[in-house]
Structure 1
Amino acid sequence: MIKRVEFSCMGSYFHIEAENPSELEQWFAKVEKTYSRFIKESELSRFNQMPISDNWIPVSQEFYFVMAEVTRFYQMTDFLFNPFLGGQLRALGYDRPFSEMQRQVQKTMCPLYQENGILLHKEQPMIKKVKEVEVDLGGYIKSWSVDKAFHMAKGEDVFINGGGDMRFSFIQPQVIGVMNPFDSDTDIAQLNVQKGSIATSNVLHRRWQTKDGEYHHVLNGQTGENPTSNVVQVTVLASTTRQAEVYAKVLCMMDLDQVEIWIAEKQLSIAAIIIMDNKSIWVTGNINEYCEGVTTAWSSQRGNGPEFQA
C-alpha cells in the first residue's frame, strides 16, 4: 500500500509516496549528516577542514564516488557547475542553513580556482587536496540522494520530491506543476508525466543582502559571482535527478540564445522549460520525448517566445 510522508531535510521540504517512505526518510537524514557543510562533524566538513597536503586523505567509498561524479560534471560543464565554491558561499554569508542567515552580511571573496582543487586516487577511496578549496555539494547531493532513494523505494507508484528535485514512476500519467517564479503560489506550466526526473533552478529565490548589494545562491562556477542573464528559472527533464539538477543550474547562467547552442554542443539528452525575465516561456522542441504533454499559464498550446508573455 502506498504511504505518504512529508518532512524537512537538507534545508528543503520533502514529499515521498511509496510503500516504504519511513525507510527513505531515514536515508535522507543519513545523507544530510554525511554531506552537509553546516554540520561540523559531517564527512564533508571534516574534509573541508583538512589542509593542503601531499598526503592522501582516506574517505568512505560513497564519498569518493560522489566526489568523482561531481568532478566529471565540473569538467563536462566547462566549470560552470563548480562544487568547489564553498568558500565563496561562506564569504557571501551563506555559512548556515538559509533560514538562519542574517539579513545582511559582509562580502569577502575567496580565491577562485577553475582547475580541480583535488586529486582522486585511481585505485583506492582516497583524495588529495592540492588547493585551498571548500566543497559545497548543496543541490547536487540532494538530487543524488533522490536518485538513490528512488532505487530503494518499493511500490508500483513511486514519487519522491526533495525541494523540487523529483524522481517518479507512475502506473498512469500524472500532472506535475512547475512553479511560477513570479508567484510561487501558482504554476507557470503543468507536465503530464509517467516516469523520469525533474529539477528546477531559480535565481529569484534564496536571496540575501551584502554590503555590495543583493546576492542569490546560484554562482557561476567560472567567476564565483552571480550570473547575469535574461533567464530567471529553468526546469529540466532528464533520466536522472542529478542530471536535471546540474543542467538546470547551469542553464540559469546563460542568456536564452546561448542555451540551445550549449545543449546541442554538449549533446545533452534533456528537455527544458525556460522562464525569461520578461515572463516569456521557451520550451525545447523535444519536450514530448520526456513527458506526455505540457501546457503553460499563458497558453493551452506549446510554443516558444513572446506569445507566452502575461
Structure 2
Amino acid sequence: MPLTETLPVTDTVAQWAVWGTTARVVVADPAALPAAHGLVVSQLRRVDDACNRFRPDSELSRLPGGRWTTVSDDLADLLAQALLAAERTDGDVDPTLGDAVSALGYDRPFAELPDVAGARACVVRRERPDWRAVELAGNRVRVPVPVRLDLGATAKAAAADRSAALVAERLGVGVLVALGGDVATAGSGDGWEVRVQDGPGEPAQVVQLPAGGALATSSTRSRRWRCGTRELHHVLDPRTLVPAEPVWRTVSVAAGSCAGANTASTAALVRGHAALPWLAGGGVSARLVTAAGDVLTTGRWPS
C-alpha cells in the first residue's frame, strides 16, 4: 500500500495513529501544518461519530432497523457514497455486510481481535437483503432488518477526500492526506510523490500524483485473522459472504477522488481474475500485484 508513513516526519508533516492505521498530513507550507492537523483531526472525529461500527454510540450503530430515521448530514453523505459505490460496481462493494464480517470474527477494532476467534463456527446467513434494500432520501434512511451496515469499504477514503478539500479551502495550501492506503490531495502545487508497496521487501514503485489527484490501495494481505481453523481477510465477496479469493495481493488505483479510487480497488479484489479486463475496459489506471508477486498495470498508471 502507499507507504507514506515510512517517510521522515519534517516540519511539513504530521502523523498519528487512527482507525488501526496511520494518518499523515503533508502541507506545502510549514506554517499551515498546525491548523491543517487540527482540521483533519476534527474531520476524522466527525466521520468516526457518524459511522464507526465498533462504537455503540455512533449514529450508524444506533440506527433502528426497519423504519425511517433522520440522520446527520455527515452520515447521509457517507451512506450516499457507499450506496453509489455499490451501484457502480454492481454490488461488489456492498455496505450491508456488517453482520457477515462480524459473524466471521471481525466484531471489534482489529487491534483487539484475539489470535484465534474461538472455536465457534464461522457461518453467515446467505438469504439476506443487500444494498438495494437500503433506502436513502436526503437525510432520511431506512435499513431493513436484520441488516447491519459497515461503511469501512468507503468511509475512510471519503474521509481522506473531505479532509484534503477542507484544508485546501480553509488554508489555501497544497495538501496531501493519507489514511493508510487511502491518499487524497487538494490545492495548488506541482503534484506529489507517493511510494506504492505491498510491504517491506515487496514490489515497490514511486509514482507522481498531480495536485488534486488521489490513490487508493486495497489488500487481501492486511487485516487478517483466524476464526476457528480458517485464516480470513476483511474484503468479503457479497455473493458468498466469505473473504474474496486472494487472486490479487494488492490493487492500487489512481483517480480524481480517493472514494472513486477505493471503490475500484476494492471491487477488483472481489472480482478476482475478472478484475483485469474490467479495469482495462474502463480505462482505469491501476496497479495489480498477483499472489506470486508479479506486477500488472492498466490504463495510464502513473509513471
Of residues 10, 15, 22 in structure 2, which corresponds to 1:6? 15
Long gaps (5+) in structure 1 = 294-310
Of residues 248, 267, 288 in structure 2, which corresponds to 1:274? 288
Percentage identity across paired residues of the two chains: 22
| Cross-structure match for 1:80 | 92
Aligned partner of 2:248: which letter?
V
TM-score by length of 1: 0.83
Measure the CA separation in 2 of the matches of 1:23 and 1:173.
21
Could you say which structure has the higher strand fraction?
1
| Cross-structure match for 1:95 | 107
Shift of 1:264: 5.3
Kept in 1, the 8 Å contact 2:235–2:266? The answer is yes
Measure the CA separation in 2 of the matches of 1:263 and 1:186.
23
Of residues 248, 251, 259 in structure 2, which corresponds to 1:234? 251
Kept in 2, the 8 Å contact 1:9–1:29? The answer is no
User: Residue 16 in 1 paired to residue 31 in 2?
Assistant: no
Residue by residue over 1:240-278, the C-alpha shift from the partner in whole angstroms, topping out at 9 and shown as x without a partner, is 00111111111112334x22332355x3x5310000112
Measure the CA separation in 2 of the matches of 1:246 and 1:46.
26
Measure the CA separation in 2 of the matches of 1:201 and 1:172.
26
| Cross-structure match for 1:178 | 196
User: Residue 134 in 1 paired to residue 148 in 2?
Assistant: yes
Residue by residue over 1:114-158, the C-alpha shift from the partner in whole angstroms, topping out at 9 and shown as x without a partner, is 45232123xx42112234111001141111011111111134331
Between 1 and 2, higher relative CO (CA 8 Å, sep ≥ 6) is seen in 2
Q: CA distance change for structure 1 residues 232 and 186 in 2, over 3 Å: closer, same or farther?
A: closer
Kept in 2, the 8 Å contact 1:91–1:110? The answer is no
Measure the CA separation in 2 of the matches of 1:235 and 1:222.
23
Of residues 24, 35, 41 in structure 1, which corresponds to 2:51? 35
Measure the CA separation in 1 of the matches of 2:19 and 2:88.
26
Paired residues, number: 278
Of residues 88, 109, 112 in structure 1, which corresponds to 2:124? 109
The within-5 A match list for 1:148-297 is: 148-153=162-167, 154-169=171-186, 171-180=189-198, 183-184=199-200, 188-195=204-211, 196-256=213-273, 258-263=274-279, 267=282, 270-287=284-301, 291=302, 293=303
| Cross-structure match for 1:300 | none
Long gaps (5+) in structure 2 = 1-10
Give the root-mean-square deviation of aligned CA atoms: 2.2
TM-score by length of 2: 0.84
